Structure 1
């Protein structure tokens, strides 16, 4: 008589194997960390704000810790020393990426067309990186964009002047300004209308949802055996928003290509022209634009919004910034990028904002393509590596009174955010440093200087700025949980 195992029990076999695997003693000298639960690992201990929980683990276990998310081993660097090991000492090896399971394209396509998630430093990746640097982010390219950035920031100021005395959601104006700047760089067109408050919401929601889905905890990442099932539907949702994002510019691409085919457009005017002239396929154009627009618009918006919130809560800092602007520029003169270098307190305010509120709490995960050693610990092959930039910027061993907004700490300091000072790496470091850093640095300074120079600011209904909600909303970008509502005067 044959005995057959009930079909319902078959699904328990993988779970049993996972439990058995995690119970077997390990001889590897892994970085220390909280004790994992069988099957789940440390998932329940991490919670909804992992940058904070990981920072707490680091205080207990040390600057380099390891946690288990299901079957995935994750190593987290939370100090300048451990970050240096990952981003400098082992940079060549650890520049590999772990492609999230939410990705809507096969790995081979991602490796050929993605500047962010290419799994290694392939020739395709090097070409895309050099291509973007040459045409968008080199000193020469950034300098050629000055007039455009100044024009779009000026349009934002005029739009805010039409709303003086009214309560406005400042992120709408910031996001629209950055989006229109990118739109003109890429397509020679505005992508939204700043004169109508709320007009950016649709585009912003698409971009933010697309970015958020990439950061949503995914069962398939924790347990790869479930990848094909897409249990949470994240890949399906990502594809929907990816298509909506591409639809924003798909007509521009068609029009441009049709004009070229008719012979009526031969002059290269924008980044889209350059991509088409370089023989980029529609797939390569769409993937590169999606990454550049999603990354550039959201991070810049959140940085300036945090800066404004901190300056409202710290009146002395706002007064010093406005006094510097009047002293160096004049009460009625127009702010230009050429004057930004003469404003050290403005630069200090931007740096202090980036220290406390980095654009991304974790740098985009890296991967160990082979077993290696960091700080005398063994890092097994295919481990994921995170750098907790949020924790490094608030480390009391590095920063005096780290939770206070004190721009003065940067006035007599050579510490900068360009990837050489590992106590301050909001844009990353090494081979995978943010390629858009030169553009971001210019537009953040210009927008913040303009907002502080042309207006006085207050909160609605005479609210006390010290009571301003400063809670964070975790995601790929670190946003304010409650958007900043302000009154321009």
Structure 2
């Protein structure tokens, strides 16, 4: 009797298992194509040091929508303007949340920031504050005196180098420029006067972004991946970076609590007011951790991305003397006699605007947009995008799509003549700031920083390659990370006019 019950039990279990497996197979029959997977690691071995390039190559073989298994995590990658449009506009609400990731969790004080917070009432309200209070046009314009001051410093520095015909490291100088502007505008202080001295500050921003973009086993193997992160040292590096950033934020906050109330209000003052008024965002009170999470967002996104764009733009112009002369001619014909070109005046520089857009196309600061998490199933190109899938948009691949761009590998600003394409998120061929509900709220600030920096340095100086170097010798390799810096620093000799 007992044996019969066991047989019946196993028979029922077998039938249920077969039904379940058939249903599972059927439900996955519309998954996008993708490369074969290995046991345990899935497709992780195919990402390489520069995942955006690896995924681009895979998309050329398997199509604009591909399915991969990264460790235990099902992942969809889209790589064309049309598939990006469906993700970022048509089905934006289905997938505008964020997955849980170890690095972003640590550096955002458990998702109390704008960039990495999941899609919920808190995110909606904190983003609204960012758009209306922190990054609006009026506040950016109020930063202009600071930008003038920092630009004057860098021009003086380049003038000294020009007199001795010494190459300058533009990669470092652009980072110093944006750091100087953002620190004074956001925190009211020069970064040299903080707990992060100049050398550590220059290391910390790239280090934090590298942490956010690096392989973390915790992100692909929940519950057990932390063991590998400790073994590789990533956990220790993450803790150190978070500790230094926290110390910086604490110093900024304490300094503002002691300062004269009549001094100009900056970002920290505004956020401290929210804490003092006990504002509730979503379902939680706005606290010190919320302030620090948002400040770190400003610090990382506001400094690095603009510097990266300026570096790549100057790299491309230095490789092509025709383009360099054309953009300088436009600037000097309009403002050649000016000591410093203003933010408003950069709006008149149409060709420079094309140069910047072309730089964003070939060298988007964030080549893989911050991953999304699918909360509601939807379809793209007839393929099912399942719930709880991680979804990635490859902006680097989109900028090189031959169906969207003629001669996609050629740096050609003229392609934007009589073109309405811009970087504000409505045109999915160009996504330097992302798109949809998760589009960067600081587009105007980022764009103006780039325009201002390039316009003034191209106006005041000619630029030569170091002695013995030819344009074709310039190294164009990318460094890994959440944002894509030039792997080799850009060294150029300024020539004073």
- Same fold flag (TM > 0.5): yes
2:131 corresponds to:
133
CA distance change for structure 1 residues 234 and 26 in 2, over 3 Å: closer, same or farther?
Answer: farther
1:413 corresponds to:
419
1:54-102 C-alpha deviation (Å, 9 max, x unpaired): 1111111111111111111110010011001110001112101012123
SS of the residue aligned with 1:337? coil
Alignment pair present for 1:278 and 2:274: yes
Query: Residues of 2 paired with 1:396 and 1:368: CA distance?
Result: 28
Query: Residues of 2 paired with 1:366 and 1:418: CA distance?
Result: 19
Alignment pair present for 1:323 and 2:329: yes
SS of the residue aligned with 2:139? helix
Note the C-alpha offset of 1:458.
Answer: 1.3
Identify the range of structure 1 (464-473 vs 385-394) with the bigger mean alpha-carbon deviation: 464-473
Query: Residues of 2 paired with 1:177 and 1:267: CA distance?
Result: 23
1:233-262 C-alpha deviation (Å, 9 max, x unpaired): 433321211111232342232132234xxx
Query: Residues of 2 paired with 1:266 and 1:324: CA distance?
Result: 42
1:249-302 C-alpha deviation (Å, 9 max, x unpaired): 42232132234xxxx535552111111122153212211111111111111111
Note the C-alpha offset of 1:452.
Answer: 0.9
Identify the range of structure 1 (227-236 vs 381-390) with the bigger mean alpha-carbon deviation: 227-236
CA distance change for structure 1 residues 64 and 456 in 2, over 3 Å: closer, same or farther?
Answer: same
2:436 corresponds to:
430
Query: Residues of 1 paired with 2:104 and 2:79: CA distance?
Result: 27
SS of the residue aligned with 1:97? coil
SS of the residue aligned with 2:361? helix
2:403 corresponds to:
397
- Residue 307 of structure 1: which of 300, 304, 313 is its match? 313
Q: Is the 8 A contact 2:67 2:76 kept in 1?
A: yes
1:121-180 C-alpha deviation (Å, 9 max, x unpaired): x22112211112222211222222233223322322122212222122112211111111
Alignment of 1:362-401 (within 5 A): 362-401=368-407
Query: Residues of 2 paired with 1:266 and 1:143: CA distance?
Result: 20
Normalising by the residue count of structure 1, what TM-score does the alignment of the two structures yield? 0.89
- Residue 335 of structure 1: which of 341, 357, 371 is its match? 341
Alignment of 1:76-475 (within 5 A): 76-103=77-104, 105=106, 110-111=110-111, 113-120=112-119, 122-164=120-162, 165-192=165-192, 200-229=198-227, 230-231=229-230, 232-259=232-259, 264-265=260-261, 269-279=265-275, 280-475=286-481
1:196 corresponds to:
none
Query: Residues of 2 paired with 1:83 and 1:475: CA distance?
Result: 22
Query: Residues of 1 paired with 2:218 and 2:26: CA distance?
Result: 24
RMSD (Å) for aligned C-alpha atoms: 2.0
1:479 corresponds to:
485
Q: Is the 8 A contact 2:168 2:491 kept in 1?
A: yes
Normalising by the residue count of structure 2, what TM-score does the alignment of the two structures yield? 0.87
CA distance change for structure 1 residues 190 and 258 in 2, over 3 Å: closer, same or farther?
Answer: closer
Higher relative contact order (CA 8 A, sep 6+): 2
Q: Is the 8 A contact 1:101 1:235 kept in 2?
A: no
Query: Residues of 1 paired with 2:395 and 2:32: CA distance?
Result: 19
Note the C-alpha offset of 1:326.
Answer: 1.5
Note the C-alpha offset of 1:104.
Answer: 5.0
SS of the residue aligned with 1:486? strand
Q: Is the 8 A contact 2:336 2:459 kept in 1?
A: no
Identify the range of structure 1 (34-43 vs 145-154) with the bigger mean alpha-carbon deviation: 145-154
Note the C-alpha offset of 1:52.
Answer: 1.2
Query: Residues of 2 paired with 1:302 and 1:435: CA distance?
Result: 18
Alignment pair present for 1:67 and 2:99: no
Query: Residues of 1 paired with 2:482 and 2:316: CA distance?
Result: 21
Identify the range of structure 1 (230-239 vs 294-303) with the bigger mean alpha-carbon deviation: 230-239
Query: Residues of 2 paired with 1:371 and 1:354: CA distance?
Result: 31
CA distance change for structure 1 residues 352 and 228 in 2, over 3 Å: closer, same or farther?
Answer: closer
Note the C-alpha offset of 1:183.
Answer: 0.9
Identify the range of structure 1 (142-151 vs 63-72) with the bigger mean alpha-carbon deviation: 142-151
SS of the residue aligned with 2:66? strand
Query: Residues of 2 paired with 1:143 and 1:432: CA distance?
Result: 24
2:279 corresponds to:
none
Q: Is the 8 A contact 1:349 1:407 kept in 2?
A: yes
Q: Is the 8 A contact 2:106 2:242 kept in 1?
A: no
CA distance change for structure 1 residues 86 and 470 in 2, over 3 Å: closer, same or farther?
Answer: same
Identify the range of structure 1 (411-420 vs 277-286) with the bigger mean alpha-carbon deviation: 277-286
CA distance change for structure 1 residues 249 and 114 in 2, over 3 Å: closer, same or farther?
Answer: closer
Q: Is the 8 A contact 2:211 2:481 kept in 1?
A: no
